[in-house]
Structure 1
Amino acid sequence: MKTLKTSILILAAILLIPVLSQAQQNTQAFWVHEDVVKPGMVAEYETVCKELTSNMKKHNIQGLDVIVSNTVDNRYMWVSPISSMADVERPVFKTLAEKMGADKMGALFDRMDKCYDVEHNYVLHLDKELSYMPDGITQTPEGQPYRKFHYFQYAPGNGDAVKEKVKSIKNLFKSKGSKLDYRVYRTGFGYRGEHYMVAIAAKDAADYANKIAANIELLGKEWETMYGDFMDSLIKYESVEGRIRPDMAYSPSNQ
């Protein structure tokens, strides 16, 4: 991954620290680095990423806790919790270079850089109040690596009304005792447009389809009306399939 240290990010860190601190009473902020990998370079990219993770584990690099997911359109998202934008400036790779050798790490990143031409960096906020996970919120439910990411875009001036509709949907799920849980993320710094991103986990695509069908049957006509009303309040909707990649994830061994 190319360096994130730019003057724009430093300025953002200064401006957004109080905003993030206040918001985290009901949310958890995540820094997302997204690589849009060339179709013909997926195998090489994954090989390099696994080598990077292996070196991080070997040297037990501190200051980084990251999960990785990839989508069917070859986007790889590195997701790390942050308490403020200042966390973006953590000297993780400086430490790794000292441990494994700057030349070796540089060669590793040179190989990675050839795998993509487009990358994005942005903040997502996991909204605990709007998410529905009765057994406790987790990004990595055991035995459920499959993901369906739903992106709901709305006009900024319509944000309060859309949020109320999202709350109503959660209340319906609760009242019916739905078995379909989900996490709701709000877009933040660096993301183009106002979105709610809803992530749903399942064992695989078939399990996901079965969960959706059972939930629709459980919620009945009330869901049909409520969901239709919610969709009418949006600018755009899209979804994409993906999966969690524990083989690329990293967390220090003492955590």
Structure 2
Amino acid sequence: MKTIKSTLLLALVFCISVSSLQAQQMFQVHQDNVNPSKIMEYEAAAKAFNEACKEHNVQVSWVTATTNDMRYLYISPLENFAELDKNPFSDMAKAMGDKFGEMFQAFDKCYDSHTTYTITLVEDLTYMPEGISMTQDGQNYRKFFYIYFTPANAAKIREGMKAVKELYSKKGSKEYYRVYRNGFGTAEDFYLVAVSAKDEIDGATRAKANEKVLGTQEERWEVFSKVMNYASRFEEVSGEMRPDLDYSPK
């Protein structure tokens, strides 16, 4: 799990209309695409790394999510883009010597690709009327909906996302969700919608009940089509938060 050290800060121009999003919370996401046959080996490496970070009190924090397609996502709050140049593991690496490199060699055996990118919480598109939080007690199950779009349709997609939130608010929906926008390090434009639940059954039950709250199929589609008509593709992924792989310094 390697931390990005980008010197290309001029890429701010690329970063999702940064002028409109900088005031909102950014996150750095490190994503490991783990080979199915290496899951247990990867889990052992991840837990060993977590313990080493605790021992050396590394000054960075993250929450961890895993998905059904074998992605491991390490999500850290990001104050600004300058933080991308920092290496919070430098002191730990000096103290551990060769053992530090050996930990990453263990990771490298478990995947063929990994990447680091940023996402930004879009508060005005997020529907959590009781307060926005990435994690909720007892609700570690996740549905992640990736809505991809071309730059030409960015404004229309945003309008559609606002219409969806307005529908949820108007109907008093209890199906809460958070919306994130892609940033530096991603190849495509997308919105990520994250929905929490206790487990898969609870998530499916809530989703079914929410359909009735939002109205008939025709009524729902009238609003949701304002998003889907401008999406280039749509991806649904299930996953879970992994508190056992989270980390925060003392």
**TM (normalized to structure 1)?**
0.91
The Cα shift of 1:117 comes to 1.2
Q: Which amino acid aligns with 2:64?
A: V
Size of the aligned set, in residue pairs, is 246
CA-to-partner distance for each residue in 1:104-163, whole Å, 9 max, x for gaps? 211111111111110111111110110001111111111011111101111211111111
The CA distance in 1 between the partners of 2:239 and 2:27, in whole Å, is 18
SS at match of 1:58: helix
Distance 2:61 2:19 in 1: 19
Quick check: 1:70–1:245 contact (8 Å CA) kept in 2? yes
**Per-residue deviation, residues 30-87 of structure 1 (Å, max 9, x unmatched):** 111111011111111111111111111122211x111111111111111111122221
Matches within 5 A, 1:174-213: 174-213=169-208
CA displacement at 1:3 relative to structure 2? 5.3
Read off the aligned partner of 1:23 and give its amino acid letter: L
Task: Note the C-alpha offset of 1:15.
Answer: 4.6
The 5 A counterparts of 1:229-248 are 229-248=226-245
**Aligned residues of 1:14 and 1:85 also touching (Cα < 8 A):** no
Stretch of structure 1 that moved more, 225-234 or 15-24? 15-24
TM-score where L is the length of structure 2: 0.93
Stretches of structure 2 that go unaligned for 5 or more consecutive residues are none
1:66 aligns with 2:67: no
Gap regions ≥5 residues in structure 1: none
The equivalent residue for 2:76 is 80
Paired amino acid for 1:54: E
Structure 1 runs (4+) deviating above 3 angstroms are: 17-22
Aligned partner letter, 2:93: A
Report what 2:4 is aligned to: 4
1:37 aligns to what?
Answer: 34
1:188-208: CA deviation from partner (whole Å, max 9, x where unpaired): 111121111101010111111
Q: Distance in 2 between matches of 1:89 and 1:22?
A: 23
Tell me the alpha carbon deviations over residues 220-240 of structure 1, each in whole angstroms, 9 at most, x when there is no partner: 033232113421221111111
Q: Which amino acid aligns with 1:181?
A: Y
Q: CA RMSD in A?
A: 1.8
Which residue is 1:155 aligned to?
A: 150
